[in-house]
Structures are given as structure tokens and as C-alpha cells.
């Protein structure tokens, strides 16, 4: 009897642990997985944040990095794989998305080089109107660059860590477009 109780308890504990590791983060009706794989790297969900504009919910963002961190400077300094997911909860035109990129670059990368501005132009050309449920995914891989996926379609890769850092600074820089609370949420706070 005691062996059966121990076995049942062990199985129940295993089920609880398996369920705990398979959990996902949910925010504003959007569920993002706790982990993603980028090449050979396992990335963890560092934090999620809700972007609102004029009281409207716009998108839920999730930042994936190698190990949880609340230090924006350290995350950006690391030359390691990372991924940013933006899942939209309302339709937004490409021009509005591009306004966000322009504002984010200007506010967080003052004096950006002509080359970096050109890379942001390339990013903006890749944008399309996004509908409720659509995703934008930006995946940085050292030595390769930042791949851009819009609504499940590969839009190319922009080389260099400088671009990857300037893009991430739109959310984690000193003047994040979505606001300080958004940045804090992405940092797990």
C-alpha cells in the first residue's frame, strides 16, 4: 500500500512539474510560450508587456533571452541570441508601425549613422498592415544579424549588432516609445 501511495505521489509530482514547465505567459488574451529555440540556443521569456495608445490595446510584446535579466544595458551589451515578438491585438497600418520605428530610433539612438538609418529604412520597407492576431518577430543571431518575420513571412535579415541594439532600444532604451512601464514589464518587473 505504501509503495502504491509513493508511486502515485511521484507520478502526480511529475505531472505538476511537467505542467509547470509547459506553462505560457498570457496577457490581454495573448499567450506566449515560456521558451523558444533559436538555432541551438534555448531562450526564455524574460517579460511581456502591453502596448497601448490612446487607451487602445495595440500589441503584446515578449522578449526572449538566454537567461532572465532585469538589466536592460546588460541585455543589449550581450552579443547573444535574442528574440522580440510583437503580437497585435488590433489592426494597425504599416505607416503607423513605421512611425514607431522612426520615433524609437530618434529617441534612443541619437546621432544614428547614415548606415543605421538606411537599415531602419530597410526595416520599414518590410512592414505591412498587421491585423488582430498578426505577429512581427525579430530574431538576432550573432554573426548573422536580425531576421524579420512579418505575419509569418520571412522578410530578410539585417546584418550587424548595431542594428539589433538600436531596434531593441526602441523598447529597452532610455526613452522607450511605449513608455517606462512597458520597459519594466519586458525586464520582468
Q: Residue 158 above 90 pLDDT?
A: yes
- Say what the pTM is: 0.87
The model's pLDDT over 47-105, given as tens digits with 9 standing for 90+, comes to 999 999 999 999 999 999 999 999 999 999 999 999 999 999 999 999 999 999 999 99
Binned at pLDDT 50, 70 and 90, residue 20 comes out as very low
The model's pLDDT over 131-155, given as tens digits with 9 standing for 90+, comes to 999 999 999 999 999 999 999 999 9
Helix H, strand E, coil C: the string for the chain is CHHHHHHHHHHHHHHHHHHHHHCEEEECCEEEECEEEECCEEEEEEEEEEEEECCEEEEEEEEEECCCCCCHHHHHHCCCCEEEEEEECCCECHHHHHHHHHHHHHHHCCCCCHHHHHHHHHHHHHCCCECCCCEEEEEEECCCEEEEEECCEEEEEECCHHHHHHHHHHHHCCCCCCCHHHHHHHCCC
The three three-digit cell numbers of residue 36, written as one number: 523558444
Q: pLDDT above 90 covers what percent of the chain?
A: 86
Are 66 and 41 within 8 A, CB to CB? yes
Binned at pLDDT 50, 70 and 90, residue 25 comes out as confident
Q: For the chain, list the domains and their CATH numbers.
A: 25-186 (3.50.70.10)
Amino acid at each position: 500500500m505504501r509503495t502504491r501511495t509513493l508511486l502515485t505521489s511521484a507520478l502526480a509530482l511529475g505531472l505538476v512539474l511537467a505542467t509547470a514547465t509547459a506553462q505560457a505567459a498570457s496577457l490581454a488574451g495573448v499567450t506566449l510560450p515560456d521558451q523558444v529555440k533559436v538555432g541551438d540556443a534555448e531562450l526564455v521569456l524574460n517579460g511581456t508587456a502591453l502596448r497601448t495608445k490612446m487607451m487602445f490595446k495595440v500589441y503584446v510584446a515578449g522578449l526572449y533571452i538566454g537567461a532572465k535579466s532585469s538589466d536592460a544595458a546588460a541585455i543589449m551589451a550581450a552579443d547573444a541570441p535574442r528574440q522580440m515578438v510583437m503580437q497585435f491585438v488590433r489592426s494597425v497600418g504599416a505607416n503607423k508601425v513605421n512611425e514607431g520605428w522612426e520615433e524609437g530610433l530618434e529617441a534612443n539612438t541619437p546621432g544614428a549613422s547614415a548606415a543605421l538609418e538606411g537599415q531602419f529604412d530597410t526595416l520599414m520597407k518590410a512592414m505591412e498592415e498587421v491585423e488582430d492576431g498578426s505577429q512581427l518577430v525579430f530574431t538576432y543571431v550573432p554573426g548573422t544579424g536580425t531576421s524579420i518575420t512579418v505575419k509569418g513571412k520571412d522578410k530578410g535579415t539585417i546584418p550587424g549588432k548595431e542594428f539589433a541594439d538600436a531596434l531593441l532600444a526602441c523598447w529597452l532604451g532610455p526613452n522607450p516609445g511605449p513608455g517606462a512601464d512597458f520597459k519594466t514589464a519586458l525586464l520582468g518587473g
